[in-house]
Chains A and B, each alone.
Chain A
Amino acid sequence: GAVVSQHPSWVICKSGTSVKIECRSLDFQATTMFWYRQFPKQSLMLMATSNEGSKATYEQGVEKDKFLINHASLTLSTLTVTSAHPEDSSFYICSARGALGNTIYFGEGSWLTVV
C-alpha cells in the first residue's frame, strides 16, 4: 500500500535555530500534503495544506513566515520551523492522499524539542 515517510523522527534544536522536516510519498505522487501538529493528549491540529508547485495554504493562527512549507515535487514536502522557540516543541505529522484517492496516509511523525 501507499507509504508516507517522514524524517527526522526525533530532533532537538536550540532556541533561535531552524529545523527542517521532510515528508515523502514513497510509491505514489501526492499533489497535496497536509501538515499537522499535535500536543500531548490532544488531537491533531491542521497547520497548513501543501500544494505541489504553489504556495501553501495556512490555517488561521499559523504563522506562514515561521512555518515555511515547500512542496517542490510530487513526492516531497518540507516544513521548516524557523527561529524555533520552546513552545514550538511538539509532534509534527504530515499526511498525503493515496493514489486511489480514498485513503489518506500519515507519515511516522517528527518529535521536535526546542531547548
Chain B
Amino acid sequence: GQNIDQPTEMTATEGAIVQINCTYQTSGFNGLFWYQQHAGEAPTFLSYNVLDGLEEKGRFSSFLSRSKGYSYLLLKELQMKDSASYLCAVRNSGNTPLVFGKGTRLSVIA
C-alpha cells in the first residue's frame, strides 16, 4: 500500500523559518513533489526531488532521503502570503498519477 503523512496544521511567525515534514511509504518510488495551494485555487508546483539531498530555490528548499522515506519543505523569511496548504505528493514508476498527502495548512502570523 501507499501512505503519505504530513502534519495537518502549522503556525509560524512572519520572518521566521518553518519546516514541513513528509514521510511516505510507497513502492516503485520515482520522485517527490511539493505543491502550494491557496484556498480556492489549484496547486502550484514548488519542487521536485528524485535524488537524496537538498534542492534550494529562493526562499524554498526541499530535502529528500529515500532510505528513510522522508522529505521536508523549508520555507525561509516567511511572508504573510505564504499562508497556504502545502501538499506532499509521491510519484511511482511509470506514467502513474501522483499520490497526495492530506496537506499541511500553514498559517503565518505577524
A residues contacting B by CB (< 8 A) are 6, 31-32, 34, 42-44, 46, 49, 91, 93, 95, 97, 102-109, 111
B91 — which chain A residues lie within 8 A by C-beta? 104
A104 lies within 8 A of B33 (CB): yes
A34 with B41, Cβ < 8 A, contacts A44-B87, A103-B48, A104-B33 known: no
What 0/1 pattern do residues 66 to 110 of B give for CB contact below 8 A with A? Answer: 000000000000000000000100010001111011110000000
Interface membership of B31, Cβ < 8 A: yes
B residues contacting A by CB (< 8 A) are 31, 33, 35, 40-45, 48, 50, 87, 91, 95-98, 100-103
A43 with B100, Cβ < 8 A, contacts A32-B95, A102-B48 known: yes
A106 lies within 8 A of B43 (CB): yes
A108 lies within 8 A of B95 (CB): no
B42 lies within 8 A of A106 (CB): yes
A105 lies within 8 A of B45 (CB): yes
A103 — which chain B residues lie within 8 A by C-beta? 33, 45, 48
B41 lies within 8 A of A104 (CB): no
A109 with B97, Cβ < 8 A, contacts A43-B102, A102-B31, A104-B33 known: no
B101 — which chain A residues lie within 8 A by C-beta? 43
Q: Which 10 A-B pairs have the closest CB atoms?
A: A109-B42, A43-B102, A34-B97, A106-B42, A44-B100, A32-B95, A43-B103, A43-B100, A106-B43, A93-B42
